[in-house]
């Protein structure tokens, strides 16, 4: 429990209403009740502010006039709410120690306060810094290094020579440093090209469940500081992702693509290899990126969902576009000749 006044103090703002109001939980405007705090950030939910049963509401400054109950007015309620969620739901770090079912190579270096869970394997040359947590079933390969305060939730695999920064969170099933898709064709037969690079993950990175980051073919795959990756994302070998870029689920980035800083990439986006995307680019979901993006901005591709029969008609017309363009060009040339003859 925390009072509304204490929350406001931590956020550096003032309280509207009762500062002694007790807050126990966070909730949505629709489902909140006594002891709950909710937030309003999107104008389409503005009508709910007078209907909610929440004990308090965090609102953006533009909605301050609508606040007729206990609350806090801030510049960005979504950010403030995230902080409040964290304060009301603290996660206690696990006490350091190695589970008896873990397998630890004597040539590894593990700080005494690191937690190593059951069925973990830590191989020779691995170095794990203070404050780290290795959940059950994690595999730490040879010569891997993990920075301070990083957390591997469960069944995470870090292949040999991978470098993980500080305060990194890797969710269940993440694989870092598996071989990239390096193949060459020898007269119809695919030959594997050894992948001798590694992966470097910067500080404060979070990678969602069952996502993979392949090791570089020669040089390293690099994930910059503050990058956030959702679940089920594939990062190919030698990809570079700039600082504070966020990528939604099921996106696939082919080898050697370079993604800039402060980008936002939607779900199910496909990015072709060996191209460059500059800083501050937003790519909407289901887009296919086959050309470099050199200017900041918002980019989209793909066809929105339509009723089936209309889609079929449009698809038929799409296939006819090339023929229609040729006929139109022919008509334009003929018209130009006719006009030229008339002018004479």
What's the number of CA atoms in the CB half-sphere (13 Å) around residue 159?
18
Question: How many CB atoms sit inside 10 A of residue 321's CB?
Answer: 9
Q: How far apart are CA 299 and CA 320, in angstroms?
A: 26
Q: Which residues touch 111 (CB under 8 Å, ≥6 apart)?
A: 96, 128, 129, 130, 131, 132
Question: How many CB atoms sit inside 10 A of residue 25's CB?
Answer: 17
CB 258 within 8 Å of CB 236: no
CB 223 within 8 Å of CB 213: yes
CB 284 within 8 Å of CB 300: yes
CB 110 within 8 Å of CB 129: no
Annotated active-site residue in 160, 237, 274, 312: 237
Q: How far apart are CA 84 and CA 338, in angstroms?
A: 75
**Residues 157, 160, 162, 167, CA torsion sign:** positive
Q: How far apart are CA 233 and CA 313, in angstroms?
A: 34
**Is 78 an annotated catalytic residue?**
no
CB 202 within 8 Å of CB 221: no
Q: How far apart are CA 36 and CA 27, in angstroms?
A: 6
Q: Which residues touch 320 (CB under 8 Å, ≥6 apart)?
A: none
Query: Which residue numbers are catalytic?
Result: 237
């Amino acid at each position: 429990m925390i009072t509304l006044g204490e929350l406001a103090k931590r956020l550096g703002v003032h309280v509207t209403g009762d500062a002694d109001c007790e807050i126990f939980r966070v909730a949505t405007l629709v489902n909140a009740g006594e002891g709950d705090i909710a937030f309003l950030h999107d104008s389409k939910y503005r009508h709910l502010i007078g209907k909610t049963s929440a004990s308090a509401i965090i609102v953006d400054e533009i909605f301050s006039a609508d606040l007729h109950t206990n609350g806090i007015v801030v510049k960005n309620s979504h950010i403030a709410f995230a902080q409040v969620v964290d304060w009301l739901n603290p996660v206690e770090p696990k006490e350091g120690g190695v589970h008896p079912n873990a397998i630890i190579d004597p040539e590894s270096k593990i700080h005494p306060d690191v937690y190593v869970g059951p069925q973990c394997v830590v191989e020779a040359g691995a170095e794990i810094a203070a404050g780290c947590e290795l959940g059950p079933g994690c595999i730490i390969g040879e010569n891997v290094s993990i920075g301070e305060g990083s957390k591997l939730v469960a069944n995470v695999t870090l292949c040999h020579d991978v470098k993980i920064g500080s305060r990194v969170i890797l969710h269940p099933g993440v694989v870092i440093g598996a071989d990239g898709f390096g193949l060459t064709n020898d007269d119809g037969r695919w030959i594997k090209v050894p992948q001798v690079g590694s992966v470097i993950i910067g500080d404060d990175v979070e990678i969602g469940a069952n996502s993979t980051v392949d090791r570089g073919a020669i040089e390293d795959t690099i994930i910059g500081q503050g990058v956030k990756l959702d679940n089920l994302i594939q990062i190919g070998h030698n990809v570079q992702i700039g600082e504070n870029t966020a990528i939604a689920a099921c996106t696939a980035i082919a080898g050697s693509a370079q993604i800039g800083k402060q980008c936002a990439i939607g779900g199910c986006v496909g990015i072709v290899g060996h191209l460059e995307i500059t800083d501050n680019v937003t790519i909407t979901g289901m887009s296919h990126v086959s050309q470099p993006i050199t200017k900041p901005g918002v980019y989209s591709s793909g066809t929105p969902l339509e009723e089936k029969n209309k889609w079929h008609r449009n698809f038929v017309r799409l296939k006819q576009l090339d023929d229609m363009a040729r006929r139109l060009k022919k008509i334009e040339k003929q018209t130009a000749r006719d006009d030229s003859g008339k002018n004479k």
